[in-house]
Structure 1
Amino acid sequence: MANFVGRLLVVGLLLGAVSSLSLTPAAGQISWGRGKEKKPMLPNPYTFTVPRDTLLESIKQVLSDRELIIDEKLSAEKPGRLVTQPVIFTRGALTSGSNLEFIARRPGGRNFTWVRGRYALELEALPLDPQRTRLTVYARIEGEYQTETGGVWVECPSRGVKENEILEAIIKHLNGES
């Protein structure tokens, strides 16, 4: 009987400790994004008040800083257009799905187990006049899933996240920010 009372006392103390912890506000809680302001997306196309050659040099520098390689063959096809080689930005079945769905939508509502994700950028600079240039950024995003015969890449419609990232970086570069 004493053993039962001892156990009951321990359980009561544990329940009391747990309930007091849940009522006390914790200063170091993980917020999981709560309280963050969501910045609005930049307009795409975006008009810059710089000549096209200046803008293209800034774009090349930003792409280089981000270790994005320009595909010289595709970029040479049209003046004012820069195309990057595809970059794998996520790997693994556990994280690829959520990482991919953050920047792209599921194609046609299909539900794959993604194993990798990649993207390539296309930037087109159109001169409006000698001092203004309109830049349009396109992101080609693809997810890979495995079949019995190997991996299959599927194009996924962009949510505009990568396009907005590169536009913000170009604006910061032109403003002298790092």
Structure 2
Amino acid sequence: MTRTTNFQGWMLLVGLLLGVLAGGWFAPATGQISWGRGKERKPMLPNPYTFNVPRDTLLDAIRQVLSDRELVLDEKLSAEKPGRLVTKPVIFTRGALTSGANLEFIARRPGGGNFTWVRGRYALQLEALPLDPQRTQLTVYARIEGEYQTETGGVWVECPSKGVKENEILEAIIKHLNGES
């Protein structure tokens, strides 16, 4: 009697397994995990970007956007050239587990996987050039740096920007000038 019960149990298990596999093959595609497929990426804005506002209006908008984002202006560097605003560096990531990935998202990391990145920071430089009394061209530069540890302490290394931070600021300025917040 136990041999028959064992055989019936195995047959039931095989039947359930086949049912699950067949159900997975015929399941609708909408129930599958997409892993980011189908998401549209917005195109990057041109940098430099031309605004249809006077330079003073644009500079006021930039100051407001930087203030809203809690980015502090470096008054000394900003005063050296009219129409240029420079922020103080901001640490945007900390920790050996996340810093490398966060840096890779916005910049190209020199040294690839050879370093254990522990922090990342960036500073912005915005230059407003008047084209005529009613149009201003704005160029945004981001200086991105990653820090890795050595036996003697931390070393900051400049990482070439991918344009992510520059695009974020341009989008925020455009929204501000259009009355969106």
| TM-score, length-scaled by structure 1 | 0.88
CA distance in 2, matches of 1:44, 1:90: 25
Specify every segment of 5 or more residues in structure 1 that has no aligned partner in the other structure, as ranges: none
Aligned to 1:129: 132
Matched, 1:116 2:119: yes
Q: Provide the residue aligned with 1:88 in structure 2.
A: 91
CA distance in 2, matches of 1:11, 1:73: 75
Alignment-derived partner of residue 147 in structure 1: 150
Counterpart residue type for residue 154 of structure 1: V
Residue 77 in 1 paired to residue 71 in 2?
no
- Larger Cα-atom Rg: 2
Q: Residue 15 of structure 1 aligns to a residue in which SS?
A: helix
Q: CA 1:49/1:146 → structure 2, altered by over 3 Å: closer, same or farther?
A: same
Aligned counterparts, 1:11-160, within 5 A = 11-12=13-14, 15-16=17-18, 18-20=20-22, 22-23=24-25, 24-25=27-28, 30-107=33-110, 111-160=114-163
Q: TM-score, normalised by structure 2?
A: 0.86
Q: What do the CA deviations read for 1:47-86 (whole angstroms, capped 9, x no partner)?
A: 1111111000000111111111111111111111111111
Q: 161-170 vs 144-153, which deviates more? A: 144-153
> Aligned equivalents of 2:16 and 2:95: distance in 1?
40
CA displacement 1:125-171 (0-9 Å, x = unmatched): 11111111111100000111111122111100001111011001101
Q: Secondary structure, in 3 states, of the residue corresponding to 1:119?
A: strand
User: In structure 2, do the counterparts of structure 1 residues 145 and 131 end up closer, same or farther at CA, with 3 Å as the change threshold?
Assistant: same
1:11-36 C-alpha deviation (Å, 9 max, x unpaired):
53663465256332475655332111
Q: What residue is the counterpart of 1:177 in the other structure? A: 180
Shift of the 4–153 alpha-carbon distance from structure 1 to 2, 3 Å rule, reads farther
Instruction: Using the TM superposition, give the Cα deviation of residue 107 of structure 1 relative to its aligned residue in structure 2, in angstroms.
Output: 2.2
Q: CA deviation at 1:4?
A: 5.2
* 1:106 shift after superposition: 2.1
Alignment RMSD = 2.2
What is the identity percentage for the equivalent residue pairs of Structure 1 and Structure 2? 80
